[in-house]
Amino acid sequence: MLPKYYEFLNSVKIMSGENALENLPHELKMMGAKKPIVLTDAILAKCGTLDKVQKAFKGFDIDVTETYTEIPPDSSIKVINEIAGIFKAKGCDSIIALGGGSVIDTAKGLRIVIEQGGNDIMDYMGLDSLPRKDRIAFAVIPTTSGTGSECTNVAVIANPDKNVKMEFISYDLLPDFAVLDPRMTETMPPKITANTGVDALVHAIEGYTCLQKNPLSQSYAFAAIRLITTFLPKAVLEGGNHEYRLAMSNAATMAGIAFSNSMVGLVHAIGHAIGGVAHVPHGIAMAILLPHVMKFNLETLKPAYAELLLPLAGAEIYATTPKEERAQKAIEFVTAFIKQFESVGLPTKLSDAKVTEDQFDAIAQTAINDGAIVVNPIMATKEQVIEILKEAF
């Protein structure tokens, strides 16, 4: 069934597999890039991941020595404006983002400021309202498999003065290249592998079910779920295995493409709020909330959840579950799937993630102002959000 109208875009060239990094210099050369600024965080700079990237450029007429390695876990407008200054002062002409969601979102914000020709990212807030300007080459090398940010048109950037996260939605945020090289994710610790992987699962499930869903985004979501339920437990146990890592990188990217074109829903609306109010890492908030929000949406989304039992649990279980029980079974599967990662330290209750009951009101108030709440099939009220929080406590 087709929606009355939909739009879909993924213009990112995906470079996936062993030695993927090696093909990046050629691509940047073809776009005329001579001096990219490389954005990353302190840990990746120290542990040698940045080195690997720089080495890949040896012999090319591309200078990758200009780096910014102090990107904080929550990308903020201040950092972006600061890097924009450096970018211009040092004569950079392109961007390489090496890292997780925060680094990539910072790079997206930087690209907007540079391309639009301003100095302050705050001038460009909005939805689909930026005029097309000359593009600067922008490559993303994700070091986690979760956010899918390498293929999304969304950036979430903190405004520390107001203690809120701001959302930017524009096709101009899509990078030119996403490099999925298993060497970039192989050192990720099990707990982070688990919670970023669950984030990708939420992207796929919400991308499949939210109001903006369409046949293309649903195809990506469906395939991503199959990969995640097959390979996430393996990648958590055996992080050095390149096959598992690459499967998860692909899954996260596909889930990213799905939700970039259909947006995320209530899990993310509440998850962003829990992140803002109680500083719970995004993936952990996702893991805690997903089963409870699925229960909340169950009545409206019964047919869709029933369909998802197939990629979630596999053909055998799907076929042997009576039609009317499949949606419920999908929720049970998701609950058990997430619970298995308790063994590597993933909290599955808000109380275990140090959220307190007196924060519920603030969390709910923030959640109902989050853009993601609009495309959830039921527009939740503040009271309903508080009920969900109580369930998840």
Partner 1 sequence: MTEVSENPTQIKQEAKAPKTIVPGGFKRSVCKLVMKLLGKGICYGYKVDSRIKQDVDAIGDDFSVKLTISPIGPTMIFGKKDQKPFSRIGSYDEEATMTISFKGLNSAFKMFTGGMGLAAGYAQHRFTVKGDLYKILAIVRIINIVEGYLFPKAMAKKLMNPIPPKQVNSVRFLCGTLF
Rule CB under 8 A: which residues touch partner 1? 3-7, 116, 123-129, 164, 166-169, 210-212, 263, 368-371, 373-375, 377-379
The interface partner of residue 373, options being partner 1, Fe ion, none and the CB cut-off 5 to 8 Å by kind, is: partner 1
Residue with smaller CB distance to Fe ion, 38 or 266: 266
Residue with smaller CB distance to partner 1, 272 or 326: 272
Residue with smaller CB distance to Fe ion, 36 or 146: 146
The interface partner of residue 128, options being partner 1, Fe ion, none and the CB cut-off 5 to 8 Å by kind, is: partner 1
How many CB atoms lie under 10 A from the CB of residue 153? Answer: 22
Instruction: Determine how β-strand 154-159 pairs with β-strand 164-169.
Output: antiparallel
* In the complex, least distance from residue 285 CB atom to Fe ion, rounded to whole angstroms: 9
Give the closest residue to 283 by CA, choosing from 232, 357, 242, 356: 232
Tokens standing for residue 320: 């042997």
The interface partner of residue 324, options being Fe ion, partner 1, none and the CB cut-off 5 to 8 Å by kind, is: none
Residue with smaller CB distance to partner 1, 167 or 342: 167
Q: How far apart are CA 329 and CA 314, in angstroms?
A: 12
* In the complex, least distance from residue 199 CB atom to Fe ion, rounded to whole angstroms: 4
How many CB atoms lie under 10 A from the CB of residue 73? Answer: 13
Q: How far apart are CA 197 and CA 191, in angstroms?
A: 10
* In the complex, least distance from residue 225 CB atom to partner 1, rounded to whole angstroms: 21
* In the complex, least distance from residue 35 CB atom to Fe ion, rounded to whole angstroms: 32
Q: How far apart are CA 373 and CA 387, in angstroms?
A: 16
Q: How far apart are CA 195 and CA 249, in angstroms?
A: 14
Q: Which helix (H) or strand (E) holds 15?
A: strand 13-16
* In the complex, least distance from residue 211 CB atom to partner 1, rounded to whole angstroms: 4
Residues 181-240 binding Fe ion (CB under 5 A) are 199
The interface partner of residue 199, options being Fe ion, partner 1, none and the CB cut-off 5 to 8 Å by kind, is: Fe ion
Residue pair 136/196 in contact by the 8 Å Cβ criterion: no
Q: How far apart are CA 114 and CA 87, in angstroms?
A: 8
Residue with smaller CB distance to Fe ion, 166 or 317: 166
Q: How far apart are CA 234 and CA 226, in angstroms?
A: 13
Q: How far apart are CA 312 and CA 331, in angstroms?
A: 10
Residue with smaller CB distance to Fe ion, 284 or 330: 284
The interface partner of residue 167, options being partner 1, Fe ion, none and the CB cut-off 5 to 8 Å by kind, is: partner 1
> For Fe ion, which residue has the nearest CB?
199
Residue numbers of the site for Fe ion (CB under 5 A)? Answer: 199
